[in-house]
Structure 1
């Protein structure tokens, strides 16, 4: 079935998965804003997208196994510029909310692009009758 869709479509699918994982990361940071000594996960979209692409490549090559299922070994939690509060927590709730809102908008944009590609494919199928 992968031959039916272009590599651009597969990249959009991977981007959508990465956006969803990034949203979960931001939500986790916000949920732990009051947890003493919690270090915020600072992974970016690029980090997660690269990991997802590598995972997809390994799956496509048939090399995926449980022993090497974790591609991204670092948690991204340590940040040199992160300011610690007295309780050792470095989550800035306002910044996390802003990042979460931006990611949500990018998720919606990616979804619209996927819908557009599927719609184009559906139109091509309808015209072929």
Structure 2
């Protein structure tokens, strides 16, 4: 069914799934803000989206300008980029910056809302086409 809706809808779907995973990471960081020696998970929406696109078999994005940065092609995050191993800001060894995490959560919620509006707009357009086809 989703294939009928086109490639654009699949990108929106991937975006929504990546937003959900990013929200989960941020929520986990906030929930562990008082856990001694907890290292904040630094994975972002971009990490989850690229993982989703590679999993679906989407090829590398095409470079349309000579100044574009090329992808390393590894597709994997090193453990040093996933968890915050910088010296802890607190005495208990926890690296969660609650203000940073709350800002990430707010941004992610806004972008999720935008993605939902895009999906709703596409579905509304299809629904209108179907209704007009019945006349």
Q: Is this a same-fold pair by TM over 0.5?
A: yes
Q: How does 1:1-129 map to 2 (within 5 A)?
A: 1-57=1-57, 74=78, 76-78=82-84, 80=86, 83-129=88-134
Unaligned stretches of 5+ in structure 1?
A: 59-70
**Equivalents in 1 of 2:112, 2:93: separation in Å?**
32
Q: 1:21 to 1:121 in 2, by over 3 A?
A: same
Partners of 2:18 and 2:49 within 8 A in 1: yes
SS at match of 1:3: helix
Partners of 1:42 and 1:79 within 8 A in 2: no
Unaligned stretches of 5+ in structure 2?
A: 59-74
SS at match of 1:52: helix
**Equivalents in 2 of 1:74, 1:32: separation in Å?**
22
- Report the aligned-residue RMSD: 1.9
Q: Tell me how far 1:73 sits from its aligned partner.
A: 5.8
**Equivalents in 2 of 1:55, 1:34: separation in Å?**
35
Q: 1:8 to 1:40 in 2, by over 3 A?
A: same
| TM-score, normalised by the number of residues in structure 1 | 0.81
**Equivalents in 2 of 1:17, 1:42: separation in Å?**
17
Q: Tell me how far 1:74 sits from its aligned partner.
A: 4.6
> How many aligned residue pairs are there?
116
**Equivalents in 1 of 2:127, 2:85: separation in Å?**
46
| 4+ aligned runs moved over 4 Å, structure 1 | 71-75
Partners of 2:9 and 2:122 within 8 A in 1: yes
**Equivalents in 1 of 2:89, 2:6: separation in Å?**
46
